[in-house]
Amino acid sequence: MAITFPSDTKTIIDQIRTAIGRLIYINLTTSTAGCLSCTLDPINNSSVDATCSGCGGNYWIVTAEDVSISGHVRWSPFDEQNFQTGGIVWEGDCIVTIEYTGDNLSNVRNANYFTVDDKTLVLDKYVLRGKPSVNRIRLLLKERE
């Protein structure tokens, strides 16, 4: 028996994500430039002046920005909360499902890190999901240590 999917499957999934989704932030490097106040040490790929006020001794000045995307956020294991003396502590990995677009996929591939619920996470892996065609990206994130 063949399964028939509604013609508006993506629209329905997007509506659900909009209703229950939360904003996540993807940190992306927008530019990298050399410091104008010092010179590059080609051996160490850093500044020859460790106390440079322009770059802090790194030579490279990295500019980054956060891109916000609405996604369905789930904390492992299965959104269970760990109650401690100090309150609720989220533990473990995070799974976020976002809309599949070329821009979103590019942002995921080039991300430095993700911010979800004020926690900094890194990408473990991502999976493209959807039937009959790809319509979402599932991100498997781990807390940055």
pLDDT tens, residue order, the chain (145 aa): 676 766 777 777 777 777 778 999 999 999 999 999 999 998 988 899 989 988 888 999 989 999 999 999 988 765 555 566 666 555 558 899 999 999 999 999 999 999 999 999 999 899 998 877 788 899 999 888 7
The answer as to whether 114 is a domain residue is yes
Q: How many domains, the chain?
A: 1
The answer as to whether 60 is a domain residue is no
Dist CA 61 CA 31 (whole Å): 8
The answer as to whether 129 is a domain residue is yes
Q: Judge contact between 50 and 58, C-beta under 8 A.
A: no
Residue closest to 59 by CA, chosen among 83, 42, 74: 42
Whole-structure pTM value: 0.74
The answer as to whether 58 is a domain residue is no
- Residue-range definition of the domain harbouring residue 16: 9-32+67-143
Model confidence over 55-91: pLDDT tens digits?
888 999 989 999 999 999 988 765 555 566 666 555 5
Q: Which 3 state secondary structure label does DSSP give 141?
A: strand
131-134 long-range Cβ contacts below 8 angstroms, 24+ apart: 131/5, 131/9, 132/5, 132/9, 134/100
CATH code where residue 113 lies: 2.40.10
Structure letter (DSSP) for residue 93: -
